[in-house]
A and B are shown apart, each in its own frame.
Chain A
Amino acid sequence: MVQTEMYVMLAVVLFVLGTLGVLLRRNAILVFMSVELMLNAANLALVAFARQWGNVDGHLFVFFVITVAAAEVAIGLALIVAIFRSKKSINIDELHQLKG
């Protein structure tokens, strides 16, 4: 059986990759995908820990995270589409109306 540490290491690597993606990517869709990667890293860690502890708290948490992530996708894509309609671009560097 693969040790829990291995899964957690992988989850940490995925989480860091997601964080870097959010900070470095300029395309709103890719930034958004990086956030999803971070959430799924957390899901992996939760499932691994749930197996280690032998209870279902972690599994339940994962279901809620998946559901909420789906709701976030709906709202996020709607906002991105709205921005694309008015600006014809989803580059987040071009969002600079608000400054000060």
Chain B
Amino acid sequence: MQLPSLSELNLGLTVPALSLALWACILLVIDLFIPRDRKSVTAWLAAGGVVFAFIANLLVYRDPGVAFMGLFVADEFAGFLNIVVLLTAFIAILMSVDYLKRTGIERGEYYVLLLMTTSGIMFMNSANDLAVVFIALELLSIPLYVLAAFRAPEERSEEAGLKYFILGAFASAFFVFGAALIYGATGSSSLPVIVDAVGRALAGEGSSLLLLLMGSGLILAGLGFKVAVVPFHMWTPDVYEGAPTPVTAFMSVGAKVGGFAALLRILLVALPALTVAEGDAVAGWQTATWVVAALTLILGNIVAISQTNIKRLLAYSSIAHAGYVLMAVAAAGTPGVSDQATRAALIYLMAYMFTNLGAFAVAMAIEKDDGSGTSLDDFKGLGRSRPLLAAIMAVFMLSLTGIPLTAGFVGKWVVFQATIEAGLYTLAVIGVLTSVISAFYYVRVIVNMFLEDGEGDPAAAATPYVQWAIYLTFAGTLVLGIIPSLVTNLSGPVALAVASLVP
């Protein structure tokens, strides 16, 4: 067997993801020489790494190709999601600098772990082989387990870390077993090879079909845990509440982007032809994702109404938003609509990224140093004491509801459009109705800020960097909402790249 030469590996395409992973390792050593009271230097070095990866990604993004003998794909799909993830990481670093200092958990390892999980998500966006998806999934998850418990020895944070760890490891085991069964049915772990073998397995004996169905079910469950869809959502509110707030903000976007990237690529590249009955036009997994999406939308939005803590409220809201992205995934099961639906999912994720990070940044600005002050009552009177902050929070809440002229509206519009094109009318109606329900709890935050009288002085902790994070996400939310063509053009060729990957 001929060993591949270095140039055949196409290392250039992996620079954005690899450079971030390498920089994390180097930063771990550099951090040892940075004095304890100047740990913000580590933050700026980490931010520099993110900016470098961002620029490298923009250069690679236009020029698709495969690296590592087909294990790693750098296409527009991955490039677009890398932009979302790197922006998330940058904003999360901005949010963390002061927060870590004032809550007394300022340690350099924090930024190293953040860079590692970011590179894990980037590998996940590009993974073209079940084994690579698995390793990327773990590179994403393991640093997040530690970050969730970063406030140790505070008991709530430790509890969040352990809960996330146990359920995350449980989900990974499901994923690996599913991958093993799919390998058993098809004889390969490479996604483009699996798609050919699926056709042969369907034509052949029944045991292969059973393995394929069980395997894809287990993979769906494993990735469903990561993106927090019903019935695999139980960990979300507890972990989101207990983890330090910037970690929660990062996790609520980053882990979902990685999970949905792997989900879309596995379903659309490896399993598009997996049908249960002979002669079916749509993919066999469409019904499963459809039902899960509907359950997620209903449960996430209804349980969120009764929440009194902003972090728990945003946790249930993030479950609901995973449901909207899953609507697009279900729509992608109809051949012919899959390009449009993939594009819709990507636009939704970008819109959700700006809005959700912004909402968490405002929640963090009014949080007290000991982690209290995250109740919805703490928003009372914010409209009078900090009118600008309150107005921006109101825009974020409207964007999460999906009111026109905000990013959230554009995201929901494209997702509903794809769902209707795919002929899933019931699902589209459920989506619209649950959006109306979601207005109840989002508007309640606005009412608390402007119409209720509060005591104390909210937003004492809105420090400069947090404010920069808020302005950045606010600008993103508005620009996306007013000029949606910016992002719809950017993601124009994205979905096509996914489809054309099949050799």
Residues of A within 8 A of B (CB): 4, 8, 11, 15, 18, 22, 28, 31-32, 35, 38-39, 41-43, 45-46, 48-50, 52-53, 55, 57-58, 60-61, 64-65, 68, 71-72, 75-76, 78-80, 82-83, 85-87, 92, 95, 97-100
9-residue interface stretch from B14-22, B235-243, B350-358, B451-459: B235-243
On chain A, the residues within 8 Å of B161 by CB distance are 79, 82
Known: A55-B187, A97-B155. A22 touches B170 (CB 8 A): yes
B502 within 8 A of A: no
Known contacts: A75-B146, A100-B312. The answer to whether A57 contacts B180 by CB under 8 A is no
B403 CB-CB contact with A under 8 Å: no
Task: Give A8 to B182 CA distance when docked, in angstroms.
Answer: 12
Q: How far is the CA of A100 from the CA of B238 in the complex (A)?
A: 8
State the 5 A-B residue pairs at the shortest beta-carbon distance, nearest first: A38-B173, A49-B184, A98-B238, A42-B176, A53-B187
Residues of B within 8 A of A78 (CB): 146
A68 and B134 contacting across the interface, CB-CB below 8 Å: yes
B309 within 8 A of A: yes
Q: Is chain B's binding surface mostly helix, strand, loop or mixed?
A: helix
Total residue contacts A-B, CB cutoff 8 A? 136
Contacts of B307 in A (CB 8 A): 100
Given contacts A38-B176, A61-B183, A100-B237, 4 further A-B contacts (CB under 8 A): A15-B177, A46-B183, A61-B130, A75-B146
Q: Is B149's CB within 8 Å of the partner chain A?
A: yes
Q: Can you show 17 pairs from A to B with CB atoms below 8 A apart?
A: A28-B162, A41-B177, A42-B176, A45-B180, A45-B181, A55-B187, A60-B131, A61-B130, A61-B179, A61-B189, A64-B135, A68-B135, A72-B142, A72-B172, A75-B165, A79-B165, A98-B163
The answer to whether A79 and B162 touch across the interface, beta carbons within 8 angstroms, is yes
Residues of chain B having any CB pair with chain A under 8 Å: 130-131, 134-135, 138, 142, 145-146, 149, 152-153, 155-156, 158-163, 165-166, 169-170, 172-174, 176-177, 179-181, 183-184, 187-190, 237-238, 241-242, 307-309, 312
Give CA–CA (A99, B309) in the complex, Å.
11
A76-B169 CB under 8 A given contacts A83-B158, A86-B155, A98-B156? yes
Most-contacted residue by chain A among B163, B173, B179, B183 (CB, 10 A): B173
Residues on the B chain within 8 Å of A31, using CB: 166
A35 touches B183 (CB 8 A): no
Q: Distance (Å) between the CB of B344 and the closest chain A CB?
A: 32
A contacts with B: majority SS: helix
- A-side contacts of B159, CB under 8 Å: 83, 95, 97-98
A41 CA / B176 CA spacing, docked (Å): 9
Instruction: Report chain A residues within 8 Å CB of B142.
Output: 71-72, 75
Bound Cα distance from A35 to B165, whole angstroms: 11
The answer to whether B184 touches A45, judged by C-beta atoms less than 8 angstroms apart, is yes
Partner of B156, one of A18, A65, A97: A97
| Chain A residues with CB below 8 A from B156, complex form | 97-98
Which chain A residue shows the least CB distance to B154? A86
Say how far A58's CB is from chain B's closest CB, in angstroms.
6
Roughly how many angstroms separate A75 CA and B147 CA in the complex, as a whole number? 11
B173–A39 CB distance below 8 A: yes
Min CB–CB distance B68 → chain A (angstroms): 13
Q: How far is the CB of B81 from chain A (nearest CB, A)?
A: 23
Task: Give the shortest distance, in Å, between B278 (CB) and chain A (any CB).
Answer: 25
> Which residue in A42, A57, A95 is a CB contact (below 8 Å) of B188?
A57
Interface centre among A61, A87, A98 (most CB of B within 10 A): A98
Nearest B-chain residue to A76, judged by Cβ: B165
- Pair A45/B169 contact, Cβ less than 8 Å: no
Contact A82 B149 (CB under 8 A): yes
B312 to A, closest residue via Cβ: A100
CA distance A83 to B155 in the complex (A): 7
Q: Who on chain B is nearest to A98 by CB?
A: B238
Shortest CB-to-CB span from A70 to chain B, Å, is 11
Inter-chain contacts of A95 with B (CB < 8 A): 159, 162-163
Q: Which B residues are in CB contact (< 8 Å) with A32? A: 166, 169
Partner of A100 from B131, B155, B163, B241 at Cβ < 8 Å: B241
Q: Is the CB of B162 within 8 A of A61?
A: no
The smallest C-beta distance from B279 to any residue of chain A, in angstroms, reads 29
Pick from B163, B165, B173: contact of A42, CB below 8 A: B173
A82 x B187 contact (CB < 8 A) = no
CB atoms of A58 and B166 under 8 A apart: no
Expressed in whole angstroms, the Cα–Cα distance for A46 and B184 within the complex equals 7
